[in-house]
Amino acid sequence: MSASSLDLAVLGLLKEGPMHGYELRKRLAFTLGPLYAVSYGSLYPCLKRLRKDGLVASAEHPEPKRRRSKRVVETKPATSRRKQVYEITPSGEALFFEQLELGAIYDTDRFQTRFAFFRYLPGDERIRLLEHRKAYLEEKLAEFKDTLRATRERIDAYSRSLIDHGVAATEQDIAWLAGLIDQEKAAAQDGGRSIRGS
């Protein structure tokens, strides 16, 4: 079974502890960055699918009652609303680790999702994935620059600006990865801890 980036992110966050949908959506944005927006229209079908596949379990928990004004006269008994709280199952945890170790070095979205949960991987596996991602980006950048040299005269100013931005961003990613690899190797020599200290 192959997990989507959203599946993997949800499983990774639920590995930290049970959460309801609202909290999970907030944590997804916080963990994966401000540009990673997940709508409830994507999140709840994902949770439903994960639950159907036995990767996530859910239970209803009462939501704390809100205080009511003393002036309001209640005509029916107060009932507390119930929220679905989701948690990862042993099958979900097994799939999470299986998918996390696949790496997905060729797809930026999948790589970034996996990187958010790198702390769960052994140090040598983190270094291997970072080195493969860096080598992949270096190869793609070299190919792109060769193509660019051959077509430079046919490109308008806006397209050229967008291309320059993409090249600079890729070069920055390569430098970032090189720094992470150096930190991981230093941490491995210093007792096997990750760069995050876990």
Average of per-residue pLDDT across 91-118: 86
The position carrying tokens 């990774």 is: 12
pLDDT at 81: 59
Beta bridge partners of 20: 85
The distance from CA 175 to its chain's CA centroid, rounded to whole angstroms, is 21
Residue 193 has pLDDT above 80, yes or no: no
Cβ neighbours of 132 (radius 10 Å):
15
Rounded to two decimals, the pTM is 0.76
Question: Are 167 and 98 within 8 A, CB to CB?
Answer: no
Nearest-angstrom CA–CA distance, 52 and 42: 16
Span 106-157, pLDDT tens digits: 888 888 888 999 999 999 999 999 999 999 999 999 988 888 887 877 888 8
Cα angle 143-144-148, degrees, rounded to a multiple of 5: 120
Percent of the chain with pLDDT over 90: 44
